[in-house]
């Protein structure tokens, strides 16, 4: 029982590896395209996004927007779009 704590450090690397296998690596939004509603420079104007470009450890991934929205962070596996 007292030697169990010696292997406690393995929880973190196994957890990180499991998250990588399950969801992939995080990618942050880099660029996006949206339909112009006539008020392009207004950051508060309602927009319908068409395409999103994400950048992360495994490279750049360009995907279509989901329901007109681009999340700030998205997870992708090594092959690109899942």
The pLDDT tens digits for 6-37 are 888 888 999 989 988 888 899 999 999 998 77
pLDDT at 58 over 90: no
Does residue 81 form part of some domain? no
Does residue 82 form part of some domain? no
Number of structural domains, the chain?
Answer: 1
Token pair listed for 46: 């309602």
> How far is residue 53's CA from residue 45's CA, in Å, rounded to a whole number?
21
Does residue 46 form part of some domain? yes
Does residue 70 form part of some domain? yes
> How far is residue 17's CA from residue 25's CA, in Å, rounded to a whole number?
10
Q: Is 67 left (phi over 0), alpha (psi -120 to 50) or beta?
A: left
What pLDDT shows up at residue 80?
Answer: 54
What pTM, to 2 d.p., does this model score?
0.75
pLDDT at 79 over 80: no
Give the structural domain span for 13.
4-76
Residues 6+ apart with CB under 8 A from 7: none
Does residue 51 form part of some domain? yes
């Amino acid at each position: 029982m007292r030697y169990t704590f010696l292997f406690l450090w393995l929880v973190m690397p196994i957890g990180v590896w499991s998250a990588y296998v399950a969801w992939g690596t995080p990618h942050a939004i880099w660029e996006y395209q949206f339909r112009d509603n006539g008020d392009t420079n207004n950051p508060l104007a309602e927009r319908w996004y068409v395409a999103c470009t994400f950048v992360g450890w495994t490279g750049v991934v360009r995907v279509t927007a989901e329901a007109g929205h681009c999340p700030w962070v998205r997870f992708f596996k090594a092959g690109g779009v899942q």
